[in-house]
Chains A and B, each alone.
Chain A
Amino acid sequence: MRDPLSKVITTIEPSGIRKFFDIVSEMEDAISLGVGEPDFDTPWHIRDEGIYSLEKGRTFYTSNAGLKELKIEIAGYMNRKYSLTYDYNKEILVTVGGSEAIDIAMRAMLDPGDEVLIPQPSYVSYEPCCVLANGTPVIIELQDKNEFRLTAEELEAAVTPKTKLLVLPYPNNPTGAIMEKKDLEAVAEVVKKHDLFVLSDEIYSELTYQTDHVSIASLPGMRERTIVINGFSKSHAMTGWRLGYACGPKVILEQMLKIHQFAIMCAPTTSQYAAVEALKNGDGDVAMMREEYNGRRRYVLKRFRDMGLSCFEPFGAFYAFPCISEFGMPSDDFASKLLNAKKVAVVPGTAFGKSGEGFIRISYAYSLEDLKEALDRVQEFVEELREKH
């Protein structure tokens, strides 16, 4: 029999995040700090709208780009939150989570040989999506000393004549890093200078704890070269609804719409009705969850400080990224040993790129009691390791 597989797909590794999960789920009284989604249920009024749409028999396709009502709400949201103006009719596309938007944006924008700059550590899908879209991923290794922000110098050093697209994943999973306006301004200058485009994944934009999130698309001259990706998963605790969106200039969006049209048809109808409610009446929920995460964030950070683990203060998302390099073992070993010895699951930094070596990702999308118990165990583990040395 011939090889049934494409050459490219076999070069792609499966996601490194799930590696420990199967062990965790089998282990009695294991605690996980590895989950990358909110611990809150979707607020009831949003779920209720979804249910109501089902009761009303709204079980048909929507138009390819999404429900008009939802696109209008998204346009309004982008405007009131990030001072961005998009034509709901031509510049907004409702997708199956932010993930689909990442995929189709790359497919719409890349030709073979085009280089895509991907700062890492970052979410696991940019690199494979780029490869599947025939692009060439070029990794920028972010630095702990810069709090994992992307600097203009790092960007400048990575640009070649083939560079076409920069992925900008902030607020960042897994580091919790953010980019403030001044950081974005410096990056935007380099982007414009080399005539690059930006894929700005802002899925965690509602979860910032120091300053309000700024979208790079709102900087002068950037709107026409930026695709902004956002969604409902993290902001409204709606991961399972699979609903995100892309906003950007019509010339790119209309091509993304074609791929979406043929591959997906439209995002789930029930989810779209629920999302209308989320944007209309969900601001209070978002604020409540942010406040709760912020408390846990401070708690987690304090615990790492007390343990003597160095960890820069993360101002976004719901992750902390402490450094474990003092123990002289790869992150992967650290995570395995921690799981075996103390039954706590974390994700090794290397799941998010080579530059994550020496770090682990800790999610604080857990109740305070769970965090406390898990961090007590991490502390014991760390102390035992130090005693051995």
Chain B
Amino acid sequence: MREKILTFIEKNSRIDLKDLAVMLGVDETAVMNELESMEKEGIICGYHTLINWDKAGVEKVTAMIEVRVTPQRGMGFDKVAERIYNYPEVTSVYLISGGFDLMVTLEGKTLREISQFVSDKLSALDQVLSTKTNFILKKYKDHGTVMAARAKDERIMMA
């Protein structure tokens, strides 16, 4: 049941629990209990909102920064990752296989703000060997959702 609940709420975290219970064919308390324990266990880590900031008319700049670092004895990449993810302007940090080590997503108000973060904070870390900043020009799809307007239902009553 957990997987089914997660599949539904991953797409729509605001779904009415009553409806969700009906759709899963179980009772509402069972769904509530599962949700609660998954929150406690850290399986469900939050209920965020996917916002198209462009449409909201708010200027935001997002960059994906490829970072090469030196792992530390006994801690691997975790320590340096922590030093990076503690900055609130960092929205995600992933350890990556391939040509670099960490993929850091950064959100700021201006290009300048981001470049300042990279030069003053990120590059200044001892463990950071190099950075490569990629600015996002356009978001087509985010979290499985296409940002373009929803297509109109063009089906006709045929069959």
Contact B19 A18 (CB under 8 A): no
CA gap between A24 and B158 in the complex, in Å: 13
Contact B158 A17 (CB under 8 A): yes
Chain B residues with CB below 8 A from A24, complex form: 157
Contact A37 B22 (CB under 8 A): no
Contact A298 B22 (CB under 8 A): yes
Contact B25 A298 (CB under 8 A): yes
By secondary structure, the B interface counts as loop
CA gap between A300 and B158 in the complex, in Å: 21
**Residue B23 is within 8 A (CB to CB) of chain A in the complex:** yes
**Residue B148 is within 8 A (CB to CB) of chain A in the complex:** no
Chain B residues with CB below 8 A from A298, complex form: 22-25
Interface centre among B7, B8, B23 (most CB of A within 10 A): B23
Q: Pick from B4, B7, B157: contact of A36, CB below 8 A.
A: B157
Interface centre among B22, B25, B155, B157 (most CB of A within 10 A): B157
Closest to A297 in B: B23
**Residue B137 is within 8 A (CB to CB) of chain A in the complex:** no
**Residue A228 is within 8 A (CB to CB) of chain B in the complex:** no
CA gap between A345 and B19 in the complex, in Å: 23
Contact A35 B23 (CB under 8 A): no
Sort chain B's interface into a size bin.
Answer: 10 to 19
Within 8 A of B (CB), among A353-389: 368, 372
Count A interface residues, CB 8 Å.
26
Q: Pick from A20, A36, A39, A345: contact of B158, CB below 8 A.
A: A36
Q: A302-B22, A368-B19 in contact; A295/B8 too (CB < 8 A)?
A: yes
Contact B159 A299 (CB under 8 A): no
Within 8 A of B (CB), among A1-59: 17-18, 20-21, 24-25, 32, 34-37, 39
**Residue B136 is within 8 A (CB to CB) of chain A in the complex:** no
Chain A residues with CB below 8 A from B158, complex form: 17-18, 35-37
* Residues in A lying within 8 Å of B, measured CB to CB: 17-18, 20-21, 24-25, 32, 34-37, 39, 123, 173, 239, 291, 294-296, 298-299, 302, 345, 347, 368, 372
Q: Besides A291-B7, A298-B23, A299-B23, 7 other CB < 8 A contacts?
A: A17-B157, A21-B156, A37-B155, A123-B159, A298-B25, A302-B22, A368-B23
19 contacts between A and B (CB under 8 A): A18-B157, A20-B157, A21-B157, A32-B153, A35-B155, A35-B156, A35-B157, A35-B158, A37-B155, A37-B158, A37-B159, A239-B159, A291-B7, A295-B24, A296-B23, A299-B19, A299-B22, A299-B23, A368-B23
